[in-house]
Amino acid sequence: MKKELVVRALENGTVIDHIPADKLFQIVNILHLDTMTDQITIGNNLDSSKLGKKGVIKISGRYIDPQEFNKIALIAPHARINIIKDYQVVEKKICEMPDEVYDVLHCVNPMCITNKQNVTTHFHVVNKEDRTVKCHYCERYIKAEDFILK
């Protein structure tokens, strides 16, 4: 019954569901929800048969841009994003690790050219399961738990 409250109808906006509970606040940061003035509903540690505990974010009057989508896909690869217009779900997206990641992550290697000069970061995803990426420039492998978002 509490679940009902969280997913209550939204006129226009975005619903992000199936967020792993420990990733919820990272996504809040990615979307800069702390500075938003429109209505936001955030639920966390909700029971989920798939994830154990999950988080849900409902944002009124705001849609997410491709760069934000890419960031969410890196952090919460199985999250579901529903775009709501006029109380209807007009688009459903399931986040997926992309093959290439541009301008979203920092390289963890302090000696990498992307940390020394003004170069757009670029990573190749080498393993979608454990979300390991390889820096296109310094060739360092970076595991998901070490990701530093831009």
**Phi and psi at residue 112, in whole multiples of 5°?**
-80, 140
| Interface pick for Zn ion out of 109, 132, 134, 144 (rule CB under 5 A) | 109
Can you tell me the distance from the alpha carbon of 118 to that of 140, in angstroms, rounded to the nearest whole number? Answer: 18
Shortest Å, Cβ 134 to other proteins: 9
CA distances for 54 relative to 35, 112, 135, angstroms: 23, 35, 30
Cα–Cα distance for residue pair 14/16, rounded to 1 Å: 6
Q: Considering beta carbons, is residue 18 or 124 the nearer one to other proteins?
A: 124
109 near other proteins, rule: CB under 8 A: yes
User: Is the separation of the CB atoms in 74 and 147 below 8 Å?
Assistant: yes
Among 30, 95, 114, 147, binds other proteins (CB under 8 A): 114
Amino acid at 115: N
> How many angstroms separate the Cα of 35 from the Cα of each of 40, 70, 107?
11, 21, 27
Give the shortest CB-56-to-other proteins separation in angstroms: 35
Q: Nearest approach, Cβ of 110 to other proteins (angstroms)?
A: 10
d(CA 134, CA 29): 24
Q: 14 vs 114, which CB is nearer to other proteins?
A: 114
**If binding is defined by CB under 8 A, does position 131 make contact with other proteins?**
no
Among Zn ion, other proteins, none, residue 117 binds (CB under 5-8 Å by kind) = other proteins
- Position 107: which residue type? C
If the CB atoms of residues 91 and 102 are measured against other proteins, the closer one turns out to be: 102
CB of 139 to other proteins, least distance (A): 6
Give the interface with Zn ion as residue ranges (CB under 5 A).
Answer: 107, 109, 112, 135, 137-138
